[in-house]
Structure 1
């Protein structure tokens, strides 16, 4: 049926879709859903749909995206609508003051495109930006400052996506967020908990006036929070396009707010006017019977995911039970090897040579896999020497706090969008302007310019450069069509979250929700990490016996995935660790 709809004109398709059912709820009745209640019901249940589906980290955003799809919108249109709503209801994670990586499949021309909306360092940035007396400054001091703010990129990236693949008018896609900002939305349990636990946000007067009551207490769960300032901002961008954000009064207010911070930054009007999102070729690799594609550097996420899977293809992980010590051992060892290469080689490709082809070379991955012992951990892995790669640079251990969001969408024509967006740490830099928060993404750069041996670090701060990321929006293709759309928030752990979910679906035969629900295990080339409060904790003893150093902790992923089944139906999953929802029709 989806092939038939894809061949139909947009108006007829919209009429057909409008009468379809959306995850058991008629499309016309989306507005009657209570998002918080829906989130609670659907968190652990796989969703099914026949024609289109959206999965986001918040039910309000999912509903907005599903409504756009029901009106005949493309996945690109639904992504714009979802991101604007997420800016409002999940401000701790993403928004127009941040950046994004997008991978999209356009069913009209069969092309996969990748859009780089990563923030850039201001033209005044120096390599010593986050250093004091020759040492890296404290991360908390760096992040809660004007120095951490990069030039936002998400709007420019969404504009490129919409210009290439959208079907509905740009302005229409902002209306759900504008309406919700004016009418208000109930504060969710997650937002309340993050507000209550943040020591720095209340110290920023503009943010405190919005997020806290007059006594300085976080708004309680269920409080109807209105944001007329954001509604006005979005209304202007809807009418005038992204230039309304990057030039004029909004741009001036951003620059002034960054300069007025107690630790000022150097964001300028020139930086904002000059920002450009970039369309790049996605990074792709075959795996089993599929072709996996994701955003290329400066994101290290998909490249590392592909390395992990390429290494695991030489191991018996497919025969291991999903929650067994053997599976955890093999997956963690592959992660060590991928993270060692990531830390050494990946940065902004406009500034350094990133040996992408060499890092995915089959012979190289086979050689890396041969380093894995079946019964003993290798401990800390060293970076390899990929074919045609540069001299091994200094390794970098950048900070990447786990506050980001992900959107997965498939439309009725078979088009797809996988988008991961972020303001970096929870509530970004804490600088609040015209109803939105500015990012702290520049703390994703290495705080040091060179390592202890004097080798330059690829991900060092440089003017105009984009900091390395671990965001991993990915599409899995088969026979020229997307069969899986996946991604997650979670800082550098995103790489393990996404890779583990892909192994769950394609090696262990799990449905998308079961794969998302798997207890998190993995290594970022440090300790082997096991998710607290899950069956993974029971693996600690057997893994220690194999030489693993163990760390048990919370791993708040936010995986959003959509899988196309062999019969053409769509299967959606949302991470129960957050408030997400998958919804389709």
Structure 2
């Protein structure tokens, strides 16, 4: 093994992973072990070297970019054997649920955007978790005095667990677009769970930082804190319970998850959680359905930027940011211009104001979905950006709306975890999927080898503000609002970019920045995802600590922004399509892009 490979992989220690705390996100450094280097193939090492050198991986036929090399290799094997992007996604997801269980898995949910090469059509699948049908009430996260619970008092335990959607989404995507035999897609996940995988630096550091919460529940503690000590990087970890769950899915399909012993164990785990039991029932699992939805698209330059509509706020808010910037020549300003970042930051603030007022599960609340991305409305909102400094005040606008309902602004807290997968297969199909269990390690409840989500805390804990209802309040069967932004960018009716990221509500800013860098500033996909982050959602401008982004602090302060240097750990994975394929993986995390 070349020494340069060891050194390059050790450089991963410069990357950081955002880890949620109640008021802010602390960070833990990533490091690599020699054992991990020895386990890596030359193909994986080359992909990591390309990422660390800031060079995209290129290929001609297919490509995959995801958050862990073991998961990427599993998907690559499927694509190499003639499988579709949907097939590869299944293989990737079941391995991600094993090797980075804090971010996504069978106990969570996902949003998938799909471009079908045979029909030239795009669609989306909503595999978001749902609130329990019988026992979830709008005041579920309030105390006896009607006051909202503290965030982690609600998260840790059964109360926060929504009906998982990921297994149903995997099956539905395979049913629609799969080419490979379903059982074989679980082979890598089963093998790694049975034989063990090497614990990554990121997983080890996150377990150490969350050890107190992980210790609350015996099954969780036994897995993540064996013998009372946190998992160590480089140690081999087996998960036989997860392997058995995958065998059930491989043989029985999603029905084996939503019924039978696995479903009974999920319900028992949730309803008997010590100190914080939940209300999920067997009926909730049995009745869960994936929903096909129309994509939401917004104009930007010569492109259409398409993604997931409600209950995700991702495509709408991203589309609003880009739509407001359409009339400004960011290309001429360049990426080093504080004025360009002023425009991006205030466009984001305006979009987040609309997000907080209007966006929620449109199956439960009327939403001005078309009005929010109408070019005329965004042009009107863009006029507010014509100022010499940061906007003093930002509020929601009044998009065209065919209902006369009045909503109050949301106060929900969405913290970073999650994972993103981008795939282009040999048939020209394109998949962009963001997948999550919400907070790092979700509810901290574990059953059958996987963690259960805490997605219900993505709802607003308050139901009203000054007597006015909040659109994203909790209701039985409702899907909580999300910021996940799986995106496919189109040009002249053909896909040219697949992209997405984890990162809580900052996902939207991460994706927006990367699209602007690619479309306006001429960066390739690796340069675009590696570009230091500057993100403004609610007024304070977060700039990525330890990077050139900190150099904008004085200029942004002079323009009237409050600036906060901090670690901003995205997990962007992008594939550019046209004249071949180019893949980029975020250097802040452990993922890679592979292709042939």
Q: Pairwise mapping of residues 166-205 of structure 1 onto structure 2 (< 5 A)?
A: 166-198=178-210, 199-205=212-218
Q: Which of residues 130, 135, 139 is equivalent to 2:151? A: 139
Matched, 1:396 2:397: no
Please tell me whether the aligned partners of residues 543 and 565 of structure 2 are also in contact (alpha carbons under 8 angstroms).
yes
Match of 2:528?
Answer: 515
- Does residue 580 (structure 1) correspond to residue 588 (structure 2)? The answer is no
Identify if the C-alpha distance between structure 1 residues 227 and 376 changes in structure 2 by more than 3 Å, giving closer, same or farther: same
- Please report how far the alpha carbon of residue 56 of structure 1 lies from its aligned counterpart in structure 2 after TM superposition: 0.1
Q: Within 5 A, what are the aligned runs for 1:322-341?
A: 322-341=335-354
Is the counterpart of residue 226 in structure 1 residue 238 in structure 2?
yes
Whole-angstrom distance in 2 between the partners of 1:546 and 1:484? 33
**Equivalent residue, structure 2, for 1:18:** none
Aligned pairs (5 A) from 1:154-173: 154-173=166-185
Question: Residue 129 of structure 1: which of 137, 140, 160 is its match?
Answer: 140
Scaled by the length of structure 2, what TM-score is found? Answer: 0.91
Q: Kindly report the root-mean-square deviation, in angstroms, between the aligned alpha carbons of the 2 structures.
A: 1.4
Deviation (angstroms), 1:36: 7.8
Corresponding residue for 1:69?
79
Give 1:252's aligned residue. 264
Q: Secondary structure at the match of 2:482?
A: coil
User: In structure 2, how many angstroms separate the alpha carbons of the residues matched to 1:62 and 1:572?
Assistant: 12
2:226 to 213, 218, 224: 213
- 2: CA distance, partners of 1:497 / 1:172: 35
Alignment of 1:106-125 (within 5 A): 106-123=116-133, 124-125=135-136
In the aligned structure 2, how far is the partner of 1:576 from the partner of 1:70? 25
Q: What is the distance in 2 between the residues matched to 1:107 and 1:433?
A: 39
Residue 291 (structure 1) shift:
1.8
Q: Which residue is equivalent to 1:25?
A: none
Preserved CA contact (<8 Å) 2:539 2:561: no
Superposition map of 1:162-561 within 5 A = 162-198=174-210, 199-214=212-227, 216-262=228-274, 263-388=276-401, 390=403, 391-451=405-465, 453-561=466-574
> Do 1:317 and 1:327's aligned partners in 2 also have CA atoms closer than 8 Å?
yes
When structure 1 is superposed on structure 2, of 174-183 and 383-392 the one drifting more is 383-392
Q: Does the CA contact (< 8 Å) of 2:417 and 2:440 recur in 1?
A: yes
Task: Report the CA distance shift for 1:441/1:277 in structure 2 as closer, same or farther (over 3 A).
Answer: same
- TM-score of the superposed pair, with normalisation by structure 1: 0.92
Structure 1 residue 374 displacement after superposition: 4.0
Mapped partners of 2:484, 2:170: distance in 1: 16
Q: 1:374 to 1:321 in 2, by over 3 A?
A: farther
Corresponding residue for residue 30 of structure 2: none
Taking a change above 3 Å as real, the CA distance of residues 328 and 264 of structure 1, as seen in their structure-2 partners, is same
In structure 1, the residue corresponding to 2:432 is in which secondary structure? strand
Give the whole-Å Cα distance in 2 for the aligned partners of 1:397 and 1:165. Answer: 38
Gaps of 5+ in 2: 1-38
How many corresponding residue pairs?
551
List structure 1 segments (4+ residues) > 6 angstroms apart after TM superposition.
none
Cα distance, 1:39–1:430 mapped onto 2, change above 3 Å: farther
Contact 1:295 1:473 in 2 (8 A): yes
Corresponding position: 1:95 with 2:105: yes
Q: Aligned residue for 1:33?
A: 41
> How far has the Cα of 1:331 moved from its partner?
0.6
Question: What is the alpha-carbon distance in structure 1 between the residues aligned to residue 63 and residue 421 of structure 2?
Answer: 11
Shift of 1:32: 6.6
1:494 CA drift (Å):
0.3
Shift of residue 488 of structure 1? 0.2
| SS class of match (1:286) | strand
Distance 1:140 1:510, change over 3 A: same
Shift of 1:327: 1.8
1:290 CA displacement: 1.7
Shift of 1:131: 0.9
Offset of residue 316 of structure 1: 2.6
- Contact 2:47–2:593, Cα closer than 8 Å, also in 1: no
Using the TM superposition, give the Cα deviation of residue 389 of structure 1 relative to its aligned residue in structure 2, in angstroms.
5.2
Equivalents in 2 of 1:130, 1:119: separation in Å?
17
Cα displacement (A) at 1:526: 2.8
